[in-house]
Structure 1
Amino acid sequence: MESTEVESDILRRVRTLLRELDGHHPACQCDRGMLRWTLHKKIDQNPSNSAVLVKILVKELERAERGDFRHYIIPLLHTLMYALIKAPCISDELCGRVYDFCKKLLTLPKPFCTVGLDYATRLKMERMAPGVLYQRMVISEQSLKSDPYPYQEKIFIFADPELLSEAICNALVTDTEAAQVSQSPRACMGYVILHAMQAALGEGCDISGLKARLQDMPTSDVEHWFQQVVSAVECTGHEPDRGQHVARLEKIYRAVLSCLRAGDAPLGGLQGTPLPNPNISFHLWTEDDQLWKELVLFIRPLSQSCEPDCLSQDLDNFEIQDIISDCECCEQTRFSVLSTDSGIERDLPAAAEEPFALCSTETEQYRLHRKGGIKKKPSPLESVAFLQAGCNGPGVKPPAKLQRRPGTPLDAVTPLQRLHTARIVLLGDDRVLGRLAQAYHALRKRETRRVFLTPRLNLQFYYIPVVMGQTNTLAVTDHAATSQEELCEVAGYLGRADPWYESNINTLCHMIPKLATMPSSPSKHLVTDLFITDVIAYYVRMGTQPVCLQVYAVKIFFNDPAQEPAEDVFLTELRTQVQESIAHKELSMTKKKTTLDGPGIDLTVTYRKVVVSDRAKELAMSLRSTGLVMKAIPADEAEDLVCLNVNITEIIRINNLSGRSFSAVANRLKTRDIKIRSTEQRPFTVCLDKDSRRTYRNVISVEVSPCLEPSYCLQKTRAMKLSLHGTEDVGLAKYMPKSLLLPINTFAGVIQ
């Protein structure tokens, strides 16, 4: 009777979760977004009910498939897989049913087939080696040393301190620090051992005796048995035999409990093993290149010989000199990192002797040197060797191009592996995403010239919208022209595209500020420590489907001809307005002209019209306008056209019997490339991504186009120089992505 009541309670919770996806939210709106969390927490309190939850979710998945309720499938799958990973033991028959259902999804369009293939691959491994998904997650998230599975992950939370209140930042710092206190490498290794044994042996495992034995062991012994378990589980992938896997773990299990006599401790049934919180670091985004610096230190931490006190200064001074500033400068022909030119004229070989200079005058080259100079000790972050030191093993290219001597063989070059995964979580509104687009574009340009992060790092982006009350100066300034709803256009688009993102992540928009400002109490700390950290962990663990947003490049020309044009990028919006500040000598003339022609300025707009047939059509128009807004985020999640929606406020002059009047008319354009110029030389302002900090004044002309991938520009330029016909896409360039897209991970991507 008790099992029936438990099953009924879990079924009721699952059905309530599905009703939320339909828009039928619970009576208490504050519970919205917590249904999934409370369901998993209930199972954590009684892990023996994991099989009941998985069985119910499988039935609901099969019912959703029969009833064509496709919007239920991916949320139910994520809920099921998260429960299955944390479950102490799931029967092979139940895993087989989930596996068969995931294979059926391969016949459906994206994203169902993509999610189905991902989970089918994981379930196949889990069936061969029970507990492998839990083990790999803990090893990578905690960066435990393991040769069979050497992957590492880290979560970087970036928050703009000018967009979030101090209370929110302090609460998040406190929560992330508290999440790391309760976990240690020894405890996490013990969790892996306990979960692997219980997943393989089931109820035949004396989990209480094993736990007591591990607590009495020294750390070195725990690490030894941890390595034994990891090797036993990972080698099952090479020998797909579940029976041998169980036999190997049973042998290790008996060796660990060798000092206990058989039957000393009664079997306590299935017990849950905690899933530790991932490694999370919180960062206030105060520097433009802070993202790149943190990623470099994650891949290649400072060695013990580096002084920690010099770290901050070294990071500030470190700068790659040959970063391309824009796509056009890819036309440079020299791409070397280090120069071998000493600057002394007699060191240079003659033109005829140049090919043989290195061999014939080797002794003299060592003899000639500068005198009287000051030798500067390079900092670890100023040298190329610092970036390459993490990959100095056999088969890896040296940091600089070395001169090859006769008879010296070169090591065989082997491809690098992406052993590190950086999960970047952005907190804020569209303005912080604009900063991310800038940082991502700068990072891609760095990687074009000197590839370091790309072959070694798997970079994932996540976005949690947070809107607070207007408490600081910047928020008040931006709020005058932009409402809170408009500040979260990206979150609104992602929520419409992915209902599971809307239920679990968009609900944090107002919940995080509310929890941060709650009065201090034991219950408050209990809720915040568990809920916020758990939701972020769930998001980064299960959010694997990216939604790619187009980044747009903008070139800005100023009223002063002596001022160099500015180049920038934006992700969500570009807004122009007529500039109010006018020189005194032009004031009387401007007033007279404005009285005749009406408010605004005369503009010339040249753009390429976007149509469904994808046939480009160049158009030009002249009009008088008070401003325009370019929106890059689609208004509809099903819109396939990647384009800018431009709204231009046009001033129309009307002549009637009562005199001359003016009316404002909205012109709407769809384009990818657009040029706007003031014909009467009156300046206007340009604001990017709704951020008042990114406002350009005294602008006379603007050019906007999709931002090109820097590596594509470089490869195209190289290929065109070698091509006789000057074709644009030749060689490898035609196989490379052309546009720079910013991927934001969600649970399902875009569901059509």
Structure 2
Amino acid sequence: MVDPTAKEDLSSTLDSSLYDDVQTLFKEMKSESCSRKGMLVWNLQRKVEVNPSCSLSIISILVQKLEKKLTKVSKLHEKKTYMSVIPVLHTLYYVVIQSGVTIPKGLYHKAYECLGKLLILPSPYSAVALHTLRSIKMEMTAPGSLYLKRVIAEQNIKSQHFAAREKVFVLADPAVFSVSLEATVRAYLEVSRRLTNTRTMEKSMLFHVLQTGLEMTCQSSRLAQALEVLEDHDVRQYFQNVVETVKQSLQHGPGSRADYLKGLQQIYKDILAASEKDVMNDEQGPVYSTTVPLPEMNFLMWTDEEMLWNLLADFALTSGSNFIKDGKERISRDSGIVKDLEDPDDAVQPPYTAQKTLRERRNAIKSSKSAEKLSLMKEKMKEDVTGNSPLLKEERSHTARVVVLGDDSTLGKLTKAYYVIRKKEAKRNMLTKKLDLQLYYIPVSEAEASASSPDESRLSLASCLERVDPWYSVNVSSLGAAIPTLPELPSVSRKPTELSLYLLDTLCYYLRCGTQPVNLPVYSVKMTRSNSDLASVEELFVSHLEADIPDFRHLKDRQQREPSVRQKKSSMELFGVVLSVNYTKATLSKREVKGEASMTWRVVITSEPAASASGESYLTASFDSLNPAYNTKIETQNISIRTMEQRTLCVCLDKDPRRTYTDVQKIEISPCLDPGCTIRCRYSIGSEQQLPLSKYLDKVMSLPINSFSGVSM
């Protein structure tokens, strides 16, 4: 006979241990290294997976933590106190979805009440609180529904009741990833396929939902045995019944909880009755994991500029044959991506000779839906107001989660690809109405490069995200720092290692909880060549532009070799005006300034996003001279730089040697306009006209990178 006091002592010891873990995790972020904090987050998640029953204690501790923080927030009203709420909210959501046990109504109501009070916080903190509150409400109405919907979407399980589908693309930059590192990361990510058994997926979901909803009335061992002996088609039918029961309960709201539990009870009885003859009472049933399984990770080296567009188009086209139906035009699933999604402006138009064909073409233009033409602008308006883009959520049932691994140059590459997508969608809306594109970024740099030049960080945008969102630093930046040091995974090992689980679990945590975008401003640069025969170049950058004068490099090199030589000697060779500069001050006055730069050998322009700066986004332009006395720095949003005396510039964008331009005489930089905000008026021919409400729209393009907290509005 078990001593009840021994049970209580064990329970109190476990609660005390969990309380210490949570306290250690949520101390000041600077008190521990980010890598250490990241491991603490993962260890807490693993405890819930190994022992689901401990989730009740963790949820209770987290709710108490939220109540304390709510008191502090109501007194101080400081951004720092708002930020401290974010880790608790995401941890609460993740424990709820992973728990696999019935959470008492009283605890749910306590959490719900606390979350409701957090809605007074400014955006995006209130948005995270609202997302967590809705998740709690869903679980209160239909226990197990949060888990069910997530698994159906991530595993692309066919269901007529929940149409959501998701796919994860992990793109690594070949400029950062060596051949050996590529092979190592690929081996770690492919572990997710070995851990996911599609044949038992529906059985696991049945087990999870029935066990969570029916509490003590569900005999877990008996249910596991019954599911094991059922035929696959029977399992499929019971699974669809559970999905339908969940859907009906969510549609009817909180008042339908009793009917929901009755429905689960009936399905449970039917499963036991159908398998009664084949179940042996003395046998132990299989063990079904109640945690959310890992989604499939599609790991690719990002070698082709069109790769992202093709991946998204392929995902959309293979998701259904009725992807695009625009007037009388249809896209076939069989005929190939590139041809199917060819821009209408670039396509070769057939000669229309018959009157009937001309009439059909006129009708096709007339029947085009204005809502589709305006969808990108509507999405932009939503982004400006809420920070999210919930455009046509009921229609965009498919989500493409694109994770980019690399440094600042990789984000520059992503910016160009994202611009191309927006430009194509502005011409002909094909992907936007079907896909919800979510962008994620894990900063990874070459270990050799970071060690050799620590002063020249290639992860400046990652630093910006860390300043905005400390929880990003704890989970994502720590993961990125660990990737270059991953040991080679033994090919003979069938059991996943701790490191592979850490990599996969942390990545999934980022994908599932990183819902708040940080919009990084994008700038366009027009480069005029010194040779009139060469056309000017129009480019984009998101983090960094560096322009130096090749004629003066030898002087800078000589100065670095002989620092004792006085500046006067070299200054004489550079005497006079080198650059002509026109710019607009980044102040309320927006005053235009014309100036000249003497003895300048390099100009470094860096982006300062509004996410990390107070007020608006702006550029910092640093003019470096051989004589430090002539060094200057200005803040602007628009700048034009022209060389004097037939000298030329060498321009490098986003620290990417692949995007270097020579023989440049003039550069003009300004915020990049979003192609989705330029709509051709139907009554104007060959021209573009502003729509009435467009003047209230921020037309500047930005790159939305998902984080845990987003940016305070």
Question: Where do 1:523-542 residues align within 5 Å?
Answer: 526-542=497-513
Normalised TM-score (structure 1): 0.79
**Contact 2:204 2:289 survives alignment (8 Å):** no
In the alignment, the residues of structure 2 paired with residue 453 and residue 322 of structure 1 have an alpha-carbon distance, to the nearest angstrom, of 15
Give the SS at the match of 2:486: helix
- Residue 300 and residue 523 in structure 1: after superposition, are their counterparts in 2 closer, same or farther (change >3 A)? closer
Q: Please say if 1:627 is aligned against 2:643.
A: no
Q: Give the CA deviation at 1:549.
A: 0.6
2:409 aligned to which of 431, 434, 438: 431
Radius of gyration: which is bigger? 1
In the alignment, the residues of structure 1 paired with residue 656 and residue 495 of structure 2 have an alpha-carbon distance, to the nearest angstrom, of 33
Q: In structure 1, what residue type is equivalent to 2:229?
A: D
In the alignment, the residues of structure 2 paired with residue 511 and residue 605 of structure 1 have an alpha-carbon distance, to the nearest angstrom, of 43
In the alignment, the residues of structure 2 paired with residue 101 and residue 267 of structure 1 have an alpha-carbon distance, to the nearest angstrom, of 42
Question: Where do 1:105-144 residues align within 5 Å?
Answer: 105-144=118-157
In the alignment, the residues of structure 1 paired with residue 108 and residue 650 of structure 2 have an alpha-carbon distance, to the nearest angstrom, of 60
Q: Please say if 1:60 is aligned against 2:77.
A: no
Q: Give the CA deviation at 1:525.
A: 5.0
Give the SS at the match of 1:670: strand
Give the SS at the match of 2:252: coil
Q: Which residue of structure 2 lines up, in the alignment, with residue 563 of structure 1?
A: 534
Give the SS at the match of 2:608: coil
**Contact 1:191 1:274 survives alignment (8 Å):** no
2:581 aligned to which of 605, 617, 629: 605
Q: Give the CA deviation at 1:638.
A: 4.6
Q: Give the CA deviation at 1:599.
A: 6.9
- Residue 412 and residue 116 in structure 1: after superposition, are their counterparts in 2 closer, same or farther (change >3 A)? closer
Q: Give the CA deviation at 1:313.
A: 12
**Contact 2:406 2:442 survives alignment (8 Å):** yes
Q: Which residue of structure 1 lines up, in the alignment, with residue 103 of structure 2?
A: 90
- Residue 410 and residue 18 in structure 1: after superposition, are their counterparts in 2 closer, same or farther (change >3 A)? closer
Gaps of 5+ in 1: 305-310, 325-336, 349-356, 363-399, 583-592, 652-661
Q: Please say if 1:78 is aligned against 2:84.
A: no
Q: Which residue of structure 1 lines up, in the alignment, with residue 203 of structure 2?
A: 190
Q: Which residue of structure 2 lines up, in the alignment, with residue 260 of structure 1?
A: 276
Q: Which residue of structure 1 lines up, in the alignment, with residue 654 of structure 2?
A: 689
2:246 aligned to which of 230, 233, 256: 233
Which 10-residue stretch deviates more, 519-528 or 167-176? 519-528
Q: Please say if 1:462 is aligned against 2:478.
A: no
Q: Which residue of structure 1 lines up, in the alignment, with residue 213 of structure 2?
A: 200
In the alignment, the residues of structure 2 paired with residue 517 and residue 265 of structure 1 have an alpha-carbon distance, to the nearest angstrom, of 44
Q: Which residue of structure 2 lines up, in the alignment, with residue 358 of structure 1?
A: 356
- Residue 700 and residue 720 in structure 1: after superposition, are their counterparts in 2 closer, same or farther (change >3 A)? farther
Q: Give the CA deviation at 1:144.
A: 0.4
Give the SS at the match of 2:546: strand
Q: Give the CA deviation at 1:206.
A: 1.3
Q: Which residue of structure 1 lines up, in the alignment, with residue 396 of structure 2?
A: 418
1:617 aligned to which of 585, 591, 596: 591
Q: Which residue of structure 2 lines up, in the alignment, with residue 371 of structure 1?
A: none
In the alignment, the residues of structure 1 paired with residue 93 and residue 40 of structure 2 have an alpha-carbon distance, to the nearest angstrom, of 16
In the alignment, the residues of structure 1 paired with residue 269 and residue 576 of structure 2 have an alpha-carbon distance, to the nearest angstrom, of 84
Q: Give the CA deviation at 1:198.
A: 1.3
In the alignment, the residues of structure 2 paired with residue 272 and residue 521 of structure 1 have an alpha-carbon distance, to the nearest angstrom, of 24
- Residue 636 and residue 123 in structure 1: after superposition, are their counterparts in 2 closer, same or farther (change >3 A)? closer
Q: Which residue of structure 2 lines up, in the alignment, with residue 247 of structure 1?
A: 262
Q: Please say if 1:292 is aligned against 2:309.
A: yes
**Contact 1:720 1:730 survives alignment (8 Å):** no
- Residue 675 and residue 709 in structure 1: after superposition, are their counterparts in 2 closer, same or farther (change >3 A)? same
Q: Please say if 1:301 is aligned against 2:337.
A: no
**Contact 2:443 2:477 survives alignment (8 Å):** yes
Q: Which residue of structure 1 lines up, in the alignment, with residue 19 of structure 2?
A: 11
- Residue 704 and residue 313 in structure 1: after superposition, are their counterparts in 2 closer, same or farther (change >3 A)? farther
- Residue 453 and residue 598 in structure 1: after superposition, are their counterparts in 2 closer, same or farther (change >3 A)? same
Q: Give the CA deviation at 1:539.
A: 0.3
Q: Give the CA deviation at 1:438.
A: 0.6
Gaps of 5+ in 2: 1-8, 74-80, 322-332, 373-391, 554-568
In the alignment, the residues of structure 1 paired with residue 319 and residue 23 of structure 2 have an alpha-carbon distance, to the nearest angstrom, of 51
Q: Give the CA deviation at 1:449.
A: 1.0
Give per-residue Cα distances to partners, 1:128-170, cap 9 Å, x unaligned.
1111110010000000001110110111100011211223211
Q: Which residue of structure 2 lines up, in the alignment, with residue 744 of structure 1?
A: 705
- Residue 489 and residue 220 in structure 1: after superposition, are their counterparts in 2 closer, same or farther (change >3 A)? same
In the alignment, the residues of structure 2 paired with residue 485 and residue 681 of structure 1 have an alpha-carbon distance, to the nearest angstrom, of 30
- Residue 237 and residue 519 in structure 1: after superposition, are their counterparts in 2 closer, same or farther (change >3 A)? closer
Give per-residue Cα distances to partners, 1:208-244, cap 9 Å, x unaligned.
2212221222222211111110000111122221100
Q: In structure 1, what residue type is equivalent to 2:677?
A: Y
1:731 aligned to which of 672, 692, 707: 692
Q: Which residue of structure 2 lines up, in the alignment, with residue 23 of structure 1?
A: 30
Q: In structure 1, what residue type is equivalent to 2:475?
A: N
In the alignment, the residues of structure 1 paired with residue 194 and residue 122 of structure 2 have an alpha-carbon distance, to the nearest angstrom, of 44
- Residue 498 and residue 412 in structure 1: after superposition, are their counterparts in 2 closer, same or farther (change >3 A)? closer
**Contact 1:186 1:222 survives alignment (8 Å):** no
Q: In structure 2, what residue type is equivalent to 1:456?
A: K
**Contact 1:647 1:669 survives alignment (8 Å):** yes
Q: Which residue of structure 2 lines up, in the alignment, with residue 545 of structure 1?
A: 516
Give per-residue Cα distances to partners, 1:259-285, cap 9 Å, x unaligned.
4389958999x9861310012100100
Q: Give the CA deviation at 1:617.
A: 1.2
In the alignment, the residues of structure 1 paired with residue 463 and residue 703 of structure 2 have an alpha-carbon distance, to the nearest angstrom, of 17
2:418 aligned to which of 431, 435, 440: 440
Q: Give the CA deviation at 1:467.
A: 2.1
**Contact 1:573 1:632 survives alignment (8 Å):** yes
Q: Give the CA deviation at 1:649.
A: 2.1
Q: Give the CA deviation at 1:528.
A: 2.5
**Contact 1:154 1:422 survives alignment (8 Å):** yes
Q: In structure 2, what residue type is equivalent to 1:606?
A: N
In the alignment, the residues of structure 1 paired with residue 467 and residue 292 of structure 2 have an alpha-carbon distance, to the nearest angstrom, of 31
Q: Which residue of structure 1 lines up, in the alignment, with residue 379 of structure 2?
A: none
Q: In structure 1, what residue type is equivalent to 2:356?
A: L
**Contact 2:551 2:647 survives alignment (8 Å):** no
Give per-residue Cα distances to partners, 1:333-370, cap 9 Å, x unaligned.
xxxx774534xxxx37xxxxxxxx439x99xxxxxxxx
Q: Give the CA deviation at 1:697.
A: 0.4
Give per-residue Cα distances to partners, 1:479-527, cap 9 Å, x unaligned.
98x6476211111111111111111111123211112458889699512
In the alignment, the residues of structure 1 paired with residue 682 and residue 631 of structure 2 have an alpha-carbon distance, to the nearest angstrom, of 44
Q: In structure 1, what residue type is equivalent to 2:464?
A: Y
Give the SS at the match of 2:26: helix
Give the SS at the match of 1:703: strand
Q: Which residue of structure 1 lines up, in the alignment, with residue 329 of structure 2?
A: none
Q: Please say if 1:45 is aligned against 2:50.
A: yes
Q: In structure 1, what residue type is equivalent to 2:539?
A: D
- Residue 100 and residue 148 in structure 1: after superposition, are their counterparts in 2 closer, same or farther (change >3 A)? same
**Contact 1:599 1:626 survives alignment (8 Å):** no
Q: Which residue of structure 2 lines up, in the alignment, with residue 498 of structure 1?
A: 469
CA RMSD of aligned residues (A): 3.5
In the alignment, the residues of structure 2 paired with residue 297 and residue 316 of structure 1 have an alpha-carbon distance, to the nearest angstrom, of 10
Question: Where do 1:215-234 residues align within 5 Å?
Answer: 215-234=228-247
Q: In structure 1, what residue type is equivalent to 2:442?
A: I
Give the SS at the match of 2:426: helix
**Contact 2:583 2:594 survives alignment (8 Å):** yes
In the alignment, the residues of structure 2 paired with residue 712 and residue 412 of structure 1 have an alpha-carbon distance, to the nearest angstrom, of 14
Q: Give the CA deviation at 1:468.
A: 2.6
- Residue 229 and residue 707 in structure 1: after superposition, are their counterparts in 2 closer, same or farther (change >3 A)? same
In the alignment, the residues of structure 2 paired with residue 299 and residue 313 of structure 1 have an alpha-carbon distance, to the nearest angstrom, of 14
In the alignment, the residues of structure 2 paired with residue 14 and residue 152 of structure 1 have an alpha-carbon distance, to the nearest angstrom, of 33
Q: Give the CA deviation at 1:201.
A: 0.5
In the alignment, the residues of structure 2 paired with residue 401 and residue 529 of structure 1 have an alpha-carbon distance, to the nearest angstrom, of 56
Q: Give the CA deviation at 1:545.
A: 0.7
Q: Please say if 1:178 is aligned against 2:178.
A: no
